[in-house]
Each structure stands twice: as C-alpha cells, then as structure tokens.
Chain A
C-alpha cells in the first residue's frame, strides 16, 4: 500500500493543505507575536470567531461573502480588544500577556456559546469548489487545493510587504524601541494598531477557510491553539520564513506521522519541538535581532 505513488501524492497534498491552514493562522499570530512582541493566546479564539462569522454570513450571502466578511468582523473585534486590553498590555511582559489572553480565551469561548449555542454549525463548500480535481493521477478535493493556493498567495503578499517596503522596516524599528521610533516621526501607536488588526483579520480568514473543512464548534479555537504555537516556536518568532517553515514541518510530521507511526504521532511533534528548542532556543528562523 505504501509503495503506491498515488498514496504518497495524496498524503503529500494532505500535508500541504494542513500546512497552509496552519500557516494562515500562525502568520497572523507571528505578525502580532513577533513584531509587537505580544503574546496573544486568544488568537485561536479569533480563528473560531472567524469561522462562526463565515458560517453565519455564509448562510445569508453565500460562501464568498462569508469569506470576505469574516476577516473584517474579526478585525473589528481586534479593534475592540486592542483598545481595551492590548494597548495597555504591550509593555507588560509575556507573562501578563499570556494570562490576560488566557483569560480572554475563556471569555470568548463562553461568549460564542452564548451567541451561537453549544452545538456545532457548518459552512458549506461553495459550488465552484465542490468537486474534485485530478493532479498527478490523484483525485483531490478542489476546496483543499484552494486552501493551498490561498496560503501561498498570502505568503507572497506578506513577504513583499514586510521585506521589501519601508513599512516593514518601520514596524521593526517600532518593535525595537518605540520611543525612539516616535522621535523619528513614526506614529508607532497607529502602526501597531494596524498590525494587530491585520493579524486579527488573518486569523478570521483562517477561520473562514477552515469552516467548510471542519466543524464549527466553540472550542475549535482552543484545539488549534497548541499546533499554532508549536508552528511558531519551531519556526522562530516574528519571521515569515519561520511561519512557513514551521507550518510545513508540522504538516508533514503530523500527516505522515499519523499514517506511518500512529502510536507515536502526537508525541512525535512535541519531541520535535523540544529538540528544536534545545538545539536552537530561538527557533529555526528567528527574526533578525
């Protein structure tokens, strides 16, 4: 069975698909986490919210509408979170941040239950992507290919913005020393606010993309949080390269681990994480500095 090429292609695509979903999620977190040095454990909850928003809006205006609405809805929540909590916690150190956002997880978990109920919702796959395509002799769901493409596209856009533009340098300068950045005429507050919103929007997008693939439940954010954190820590905080590398590693280890060594699958990934942290305490591709 394992000698069959089609099997490997199929699993390879599965790995890639999982990687890209995680990438969409972790890139938002890494942007916030790495650039603002803000530890946002509630990122998973934003993802869940994105899924709910997409499912709700999708029911009214269709999948594509939902896909569009979700990032904005989550970014809007991001605005509230930023103004109420994050702005004041930016300098408080990782422990306080971990705890505030840990608290937010539970608050948002219960809020989703109050608003949408405890039962699972679903979001249908759009008609356009409902079929399957054949690549390399393997039939593969079109929607999953869409997820892969979307992940790659977002990666490209972000790499361009952060690496090649002045904005990227401004953000990093603000991270290093916000007072000095301000003394150089950079509106640090506004910039971070935007960064945070973009990070939230990306979480919302990830949720919207995941909704038709998975079930939409209140605890979906909690479930995805640990894998996302692992991705970021393996890759290295704050670097786009790290987010993509971490996602790919996670996707491959998880997918092939589950198939080839089912009894060790989940320990495998934690072991890998521990090994990375021992050998490279700041992850594989830490941000410069």
Chain B
C-alpha cells in the first residue's frame, strides 16, 4: 500500500533518514518502533510531504508521492495524527472536528461525528471549548478523532498514547483494534511496546534513520536481545 524505498530526508542540513526502506501492506497494521530520535517521526513527516525526500521513492497504492504537497497527499487518503497533535487552537473542538467531517463525507459505515463522540465521550463534553483549552490527553483524543473523520485509507499515528492515562490508552487500543478488524491499514509509531505489539501485524525497528529489524510481534516479543539492543527495554 505504502512503500518507502531508500529514502533520505532530514531537517535543512541535518540528514536524519539514511536510505529508509519500509513497506506498509494494505489491510495490515505496521508498527514502527525505535528509541527517541531514531527517526520515526521524521519518516512519517516525510511521507506526509512535510519534509522533502532528498533521495529515494515513496509510493502510495502504486502512485509516486515523493515530492507531493501535504494537501495532495492527504487527499489521496492518508490520515495523519502528529506527535505534537497540532490542534487548531483558535477553533473550537466542534470546529476542529467539522473541518474534517464536513469536507470528507463519510462513506457508508465510515466515521461520523456521532461515532467519534461515542469513541471519545470526553470530547462531547468539550465541544464548545477552544482547541487550546484542552488538556494534553484531550488534545490527543481530538487529534485521533479528527483524523478518523477524514475517513482515510491509511491511518498514520505518531505516538497516539503519549501522555495518556492508562484507561484511555486501553480505550484507544480497543478502538484501534476494532478499526483493524474493519480492514483499515495503519502505521503506528510507538514507545509503548505492549501497546504496539498487541496491535501490529508487522513490526519494524528503526535506528539512526534506517530499518534495523523486521518481523512480527511474536518474533520481537521473543527476541529479548533485539529488544534490549534496539529499544533499550
């Protein structure tokens, strides 16, 4: 579905990704793990067109998106939940949601306002709040809800559990599990090892801007050495 082939990328002069090669398959969940600063977020930003790919190719469903603009890429069906959440501060929670809901009409069985509010009832209580008035966790919920409302074909989540209370983490885990069952393709970047491995179909580990380990959740759970070496667990 999404393929990165020998991609180089970075910030200005500093190169972070060195020949990143990774494939996300349709209908599966790919977990990308790695230490702080390994280049996980950078990979996602490059996919979304927020950073230019200096070398290599990125294709989505066979079409090259290597140097596309973020808005073209989003329209191809990629939904992105950034690490920093990036809630629109001067829009209310409702407006934040509507921005996606009104512009990406839900296909039958797709995500609607009603459904995301069911998923995150907390947001329902905060509909009229400004985006900047939300707590960290609420912002995370809003960011996920917003991406879901775009009804993407590939959902890209950058550390969706960061800063969340365990109960919410559990909630999100269950809901993402539901999504997975409906066949939605996902890429999940996580620090939370348990969370990631229980959701993923495939796992890659990134270090210094390269994939250093590929396998399945069972394999990585079993591989204590790799865990220690690449994740510091």
Contact = CB atoms under 8 A, between A and B. Distances in A.
Q: Taking the complex as a whole, does A directly touch B, i.e. does some CB pair lie under 8 Å apart?
A: yes
Nearest to A238: B90
Nearest to B98: A169
Interface stretch (B32-40, B68-76, B223-231): B68-76
B171 interface: no
Q: Secondary structure of the A side of the interface?
A: helix
Interface string B73-95: 11100001010001011110001
Contacts of B89: 176-177, 289
A169 B102 CA distance: 11
Contacts of A179: 50, 70, 86
B146 A184 contact: yes
Given A166-B102, A188-B71, A183 B48 contact: yes
Nearest to A180: B86
Contacts of B49: 182
A188 B69 CA distance: 10
Given A288-B130, A289-B130, A177 B102 contact: no
B99 interface: yes
A181 to B, nearest CB: 8
Contacts of B69: 182
Nearest to B133: A289
B103 A185 contact: yes
Contacts of B104: 185
Nearest to B48: A183
Contacts of A180: 82, 86, 88
A183 B49 CA distance: 9
A139 interface: no
Interface size class of A (residues with CB under 8 A): 20 to 34
Q: In the complex, which range does the number of interface residues on chain B fall in?
A: 20 to 34
Nearest to A174: B88
B90 A184 contact: no
Contacts, number: 75
A22 B130 CA distance: 31
B22 interface: no
A179 B86 CA distance: 9
A170 B103 CA distance: 10
Interface in A112-135: none
A176 B90 contact: yes
A238 B91 CA distance: 14
Interface in B167-219: none
Interface string B101-144: 01110000000000000000000000000111000000000000
Contacts of B80: 183
A179 B69 CA distance: 10
B91 A172 contact: yes
A184 B82 contact: no
Contact of A173 (B70, B75, B82, B99): B99
A179 B50 CA distance: 7
A89 interface: no
B150 interface: yes
Contact of A287 (B74, B90, B146): B90
Contacts of B58: none
Given A182-B74, A289-B132, A169 B86 contact: no
Interface string A200-243: 00000000000000000000000000000000000000000000
Contacts of B88: 172-173, 176-177, 180-181
B129 to A, nearest CB: 11
B26 to A, nearest CB: 21
B140 to A, nearest CB: 14
A182 B90 contact: no
B132 A170 contact: no
Contacts of A176: 88-91, 131
Contacts of B150: 184-185
8 contacts: A169-B98, A173-B96, A180-B86, A183-B50, A184-B150, A287-B90, A289-B89, A289-B130
| 3 closest cross-chain pairs (CB), A and B | A289-B90, A182-B70, A180-B86
